[in-house]
Amino acid sequence: MTIAAASVPTLCVDTCSLLDIMRDPTRDDARPHERKAAIDLAAAMEAGELACLVAEQVKFEFQGHDAPIQAEAQDAIRRLIERVDRANAVHGVFATPKAVDLRHLGAQTAPARAVVERWLRAARLVPGSDAVNVCAISRVNHNVSPARQGKDSVKDCIVFETYLAAVGELRALGMASTVVLLSSNTREYLSESRVLKPDLAPDLSTLGIGYAPNIAAAKAALGF
């Protein structure tokens, strides 16, 4: 069954948000409920309750960042364990030593990557096109969001235009269900007041596409 015929909520995902599922868990912005939301959405995709679109450009970008992001997470966990062990050893000099073992934290990277794989297996790949590339270049040349001055934004704009084209086709086929664009690259999408930038808001509203800055927000917006 096609996405339009299924008429289920649909998620358009950016590369950064796929990578967020398995990023360094020691980061200040790491949130357990967001990782749990990623698992819940994977289950919804597998049950046919949620459709997920992955732009071809996202696939290419993910392949380039997949292994480095996993390695970064493992390195951060190792550094955390070493830091705590060192602090605990210092503690033992002045007071009764306490057993602290954080080595289990290193076991989370592989399961997190497995959740990403569930998303990728369940998603529909949206190929790029010359028309999409032309629109993306135009956004960059005219500095229209998600293009951002001082940054090479071509890839961001290709992803954005790919989803506009795909959702436009689905709407033309009669799909009326909720569509959400998920991207944690908030500097590209949100103004300083944390609302959608005015130069891209019309593109999304015209096609009835919502925006979510993290996976938990996407889950809520999609109704799960």
Residue 11, beta-bridge partner list? 52, 180
Dist CA 224 CA 220 (whole Å): 6
Domains contained in the chain, number: 1
pLDDT of residue 152: 83
Is residue 78 assigned to a domain?
A: no
Return the CATH number at 218.
3.40.50
* pLDDT for position 209: 98
- Residue 45 forms part of a structural domain: yes
- Judge whether 47 lies within some domain: yes
Distance, in Å, from the CA atom of 29 to the CA atom of 56, rounded to the nearest integer, reads: 28
The answer to whether the beta carbons of residues 41 and 119 sit under 8 Å apart is yes
Q: Quick one: pLDDT at residue 1?
A: 52
The vertex-43 CA angle with 223 and 34, nearest 5°, equals: 65
Specify if 217 maps to a domain: yes
Q: pTM of the prediction?
A: 0.93
Question: Would you say residue 104 lies in a domain?
Answer: no
In a domain, 13, yes or no: yes
Residue 161's closest CA among 134, 142, 179?
A: 134
Which residue range is the domain that position 196 belongs to? Answer: 3-58+110-222
Give all strands of the β-sheet with 124-126 in edge-to-edge order.
Answer: 124-126, 51-55, 10-13, 179-182, 209-212
Q: Which of 130, 196, 132, 131 is nearest to 163 (CA)?
A: 132
Determine, yes or no, domain membership for 64.
no
Q: Do the domain assignments include residue 215?
A: yes
Could you list the pLDDT tens digit for every one of the 224 residues in the chain?
Answer: 578 788 899 999 999 999 999 999 999 999 999 999 999 999 999 999 999 999 999 999 999 999 999 999 999 999 999 999 999 999 999 998 888 999 999 999 999 999 999 999 999 999 999 999 999 999 999 999 999 887 888 999 999 999 999 999 999 999 999 999 999 999 999 998 899 999 999 999 999 999 999 999 999 999 99
Q: What is the pLDDT of residue 136?
A: 94
Q: What's residue 151's pLDDT?
A: 81
12 pairs with which residues across the strands? 53, 181
Given its phi and psi angles, is residue 196 left (phi above 0), alpha (psi -120 to 50 degrees) or beta? beta
